[in-house]
Chain A
Amino acid sequence: MLASPHQQGAQHGCRRAVITRAYRHDLNGSHLEPGAPQLEVDRVSLTFGGVRALDDVSLDVVQGEIHAIIGPNGAGKTSLLNCISGLYRPDGGRIILHGGDADHSLARARPSRIARWGVARSFQNIELFRHLSVLDNLLLGRHVHMRHRLLPSLWYWGSARRQEIAQRDLVEEVIDLLEIQAHRHKPVGSLAYGIQKRVELGRALAMQPAVLLLDEPMAGMNVEEKEDMARYVLDVNELAGVTVVLIEHDMEVVMDISRRVSVLDFGLLIASGPPDAVRQDEKVLEAYLGQEHTA
């Protein structure tokens, strides 16, 4: 079998007092101190024909936190994530990603550029590379950290081979964290839904992101799988220190694991704050009750 990455990792881990688990690689790509503003969404609007999917939405995501975005179906949650990761171009507003040395304006930048700046994401309907193995999917998460030169790739000599082996190391760490060792070499298209969701989280995590955007990572899972997934997300946040923006419908999970909750309804941000405050908020109750009445 492969040597466990943790055997050598233990000595490194000792120096970092807060964590219980030894990491060889820092999965957090942010250079900011915990508590510093990481991502700033400023008066973002987006329309589709007559539909206002986002209406002057502003929110701040803080480094090191889990920030949940909730709201009824069609509220604009996915649209907001798509604006942040560059898949949609907002009609107005700014989205700023704070970096160690430079700030990046995300609105209207190319998605691949945004990924390079440190924004990783998962999708509501799993979007994996179906025919590729779990390993290859995770290695694609390393794309921006690798150099891709044609001739060394064709020869597979020197730098190209060394790089493949070096990147494999970090990917194995993610595989261990998410407990998908048994599936390493299988094509992801053949895996169970719950495992695919985990692989998608892994692919985003392998990017060593500054901000991790998760679009309903627990949707369609049974209670047990949900608990597992919630634990992985917590692990990623607490142990690895990765900032997470989480869209989720399950209120219990949201209230449990997030530090801050923002509520969207018909494209409007109707509340934002700590879970307990948001739970009591008039407008939020109304939005959810209203939905129950009409449903």
Chain B
Amino acid sequence: MAATATGIYHRSYRSELALRHTQAEYARLTLAAAVVVAVPFVATPYWQTVANQIGIAVVGAIGLNILTGYTGQISLGQGGFLAVGAYTSAILVERLGAPTLVGVVAAILMTAAVGAFFGLPALRLKGLYLAIATLASQFIILYAVRNWEFVTGGVQALVVGTPTLFGFELNTDFRWYWVILACAAAATVAGTNLFRTGLGRAFMAIRDQDIAAEAVGVNTVTYKVLAFAVSSGFVGLAGALTAHWTTIVTWERFTLDVSILYLAMIIVGGLGSVSGSIYGAVFMIVVPAWITQVAQDLRGQLSFLARELPAIQLGVFGLIIILFLIFEPRGLARIWHRMKDYVRLWPFRY
């Protein structure tokens, strides 16, 4: 990290505060943009679907990282918050005839409010105890979804019509890709900006030393609740996108495994890193998709493999998380940093 900053001198605070400084950084950004734009033109339908899943996961993972990675408040309620976003938007659009955009914005606000409410235990609890409290929120929300039939449709799936945007009917994965990409890009920019300003800095202060944070004037009550709200706002957007893209909302999509999958994303990608959230989302969606594909290709010869697929996926997941926790707790983002430094400083390694 230090190495990338040496040798660059700034003439104003403003230029120093810019996100990118070197040509290499601009070149990498351009390359990444080119790849992202090229994906839907070269991907098979299967991978096109996977790409859309990744985009939504990026939004959700950035949201969770704001709370867990940056503010230090662990949450196992991600699945529940995704459900709040998905059902809010679906119900508003499908039952009350609201425009999709209104539904999505309402989903963001509603999930932020619900997240803030379920964040209240964080004012008293830390670490594992908070994990268990947020776990409770996961179960409470899903219980409400399953039993509040009159509003949510209960265990029955809620079907949503395909929306139109600027005259285009969003009825293909290819069209959806651009909508999801725009949302993921917006989430990335917003997440990055947040931690360039005093607001995000207050979140990180709470993570590092909450007593000192109070002593410099950060009201930890307000800011913890705010962190839950902001984080959940992103998650609500991810939930709403899921609802309208898949056009079917069921509670089974938002179970505890989803919460754990998202935690795995930010651990593998890098806690407290926006780019890490992206790497983690890509990794944790692509690996199982790839395992599935391989297993399907092998179905003829090795049928037991296909049968054991869910178990294999879980095993691989668990292994990956454990390996990262042991060998690189700062995740893929850190590995990527080290690679950049290595290349930049080569052949002077030390």
Interface residues of A (CB under 8 A from B): 1-3, 85-87, 110-113, 115-116, 120-121, 123, 127-132, 136, 139-144, 146, 148-150, 152-156, 160-161, 163-165, 167-169, 185-186, 203-204, 207
Contacts and interface: CB of A to CB of B under 8 A. Distances in A.
Interface string B263-276: 00000000010000
A110 B204 contact: no
Nearest to A146: B198
Interface string B7-46: 0011111101100000000000000000000000000000
Contact of B205 (A86, A113, A132, A165): A132
Contacts of A86: 214
Interface residues of B, number: 38
B193 interface: yes
Interface of chain B, helix or strand or loop or mixed?
helix
Given A148-B198, A153-B194, A112 B214 contact: yes
B217 A112 contact: yes
Nearest to B6: A185
A113 B272 CA distance: 28
Interface string B204-223: 11011101111111111000
Contact of B208 (A111, A130, A139): A130
A293 to B, nearest CB: 36
B326 interface: no
A154 B209 contact: no
B314 interface: no
A132 B217 contact: no
A152 B197 CA distance: 9
Which of A113, A129, A152 gathers the greatest number of chain B CB atoms within 10 Å?
A129
Contacts of B208: 128-132
B343 interface: no
Given A150-B199, A186-B2, A127 B211 contact: yes
A2 B216 contact: no
A207 to B, nearest CB: 7
B198 A139 contact: yes
A132 B214 contact: no
Contacts of B213: 129, 140
A153 B190 CA distance: 8
Contacts of A140: 198, 201-202, 205, 213, 216, 218
Nearest to A149: B199
A110 B199 contact: no
A48 to B, nearest CB: 17
A154 B193 contact: yes
A136 B201 contact: yes
A113 B222 CA distance: 12
A20 B194 CA distance: 40
B220 A112 contact: yes
B96 interface: no
B299 interface: no
Interface string B170-211: 000000000000000000001001101111111011011101
Contacts of A161: 14, 17
Given A85-B215, A111-B215, A153 B199 contact: yes
B76 interface: no
B277 to A, nearest CB: 15
Contacts of A1: 9-10
Contacts of A85: 215
A199 to B, nearest CB: 12
Contact of B216 (A115, A149, A150): A115
A143 B272 contact: no
A115 B205 contact: no
Which of B202, B216, B218 gathers the greatest number of chain A CB atoms within 10 Å?
B216
A207 B212 contact: no
A211 to B, nearest CB: 13
B201 to A, nearest CB: 6
A115 B216 CA distance: 6
A273 to B, nearest CB: 29
A103 B208 CA distance: 32
Nearest to A154: B190
What 9 A-B pairs are tightest by C-beta distance, nearest first?
Answer: A115-B217, A144-B217, A156-B193, A129-B208, A111-B214, A127-B212, A154-B190, A153-B197, A112-B219
6 contacts: A127-B209, A128-B209, A130-B208, A155-B190, A156-B193, A164-B197
